[in-house]
């Protein structure tokens, strides 16, 4: 089975609220493998590149101000269908529309403080992982439980 990699950010509100471990645990519990992780302060330059598709929209400045307001935890997760699985686990962008059991449904309050970011598709994932991680910061490794998570039968 083909493995995908995706970017997940624990946003400033998730870090400030002490939810880093809880959020990472949710992803690991699905079988996703952390292949890159770092606590970092997002610069305005990185934020503008990350949110470049929204430049010129009324909410763009707010996105940049928010993501640069406090540290984030950047994760590169790997697994089969990693993008779809992480997006499902995060829940709808608006926490009041996210079902219970999702990160945003369980811990989110409002759309501008929705705890996590995840890549929307394969192209975004490749671009975003490249923005937040160098190749040397991503580690390929095997886990002893991988045979119970990913089948050879595909």
117 is catalytic: yes
* Catalytic residue of the set 117, 119, 128, 132: 117
Rounded Cα gap, residues 120 and 7, in angstroms: 9
pLDDT per residue as tens, the chain (154 positions) = 579 999 999 999 999 999 999 999 999 999 999 999 999 999 999 999 999 889 998 999 999 999 999 999 999 999 999 999 999 999 999 999 999 999 999 999 888 899 999 999 999 999 999 999 999 999 999 999 888 887 776 5
Is residue 149 a part of any domain in this protein? no
pTM score above 0.85:
yes
User: What are the distances in angstroms from CA 122 to CA 4, 37, 116, 125, 139?
Assistant: 8, 19, 18, 5, 19
pLDDT at 1: 58
Using a 10 angstrom Cβ sphere, with 0-12 exposed, 13-18 middle and 19 or more buried, the burial of residue 4 is buried
pLDDT at 151: 76
* 3-class DSSP assignment, residue 19: coil
Is residue 17 a part of any domain in this protein? yes
Number of domains comprising the chain: 1
Is residue 151 a part of any domain in this protein? no
Q: Which domain holds residue 114?
A: 4-143
Is residue 44 a part of any domain in this protein? yes
Rounded Cα gap, residues 112 and 125, in angstroms: 22
Rounded Cα gap, residues 149 and 91, in angstroms: 22
Domain at 128, CATH number: 3.30.70.141
Is residue 12 a part of any domain in this protein? yes
Rounded Cα gap, residues 117 and 50, in angstroms: 11
């Amino acid at each position: 089975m083909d493995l995908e990699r995706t970017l997940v950010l624990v946003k400033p509100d998730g870090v400030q609220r002490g939810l880093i471990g809880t959020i990472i645990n949710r992803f690991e519990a699905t079988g996703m493998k952390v292949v890159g992780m770092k606590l970092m302060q997002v610069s305005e330059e990185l934020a503008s590149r990350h949110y470049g598709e929204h430049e010129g929209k009324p909410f763009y400045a707010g996105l940049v101000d928010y993501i640069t307001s406090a540290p984030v935890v950047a994760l590169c997760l790997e697994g089969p269908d990693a993008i779809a699985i992480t997006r499902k686990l995060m829940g709808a962008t608006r926490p009041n529309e996210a079902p219970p059991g999702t990160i945003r449904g369980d811990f989110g309050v409002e759309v501008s403080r929705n705890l996590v970011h995840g890549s929307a598709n394969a192209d975004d994932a490749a671009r975003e992982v490249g923005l937040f991680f160098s190749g040397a910061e991503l580690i390929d490794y095997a886990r002893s439980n991988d045979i119970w998570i990913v089948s050879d039968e595909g």
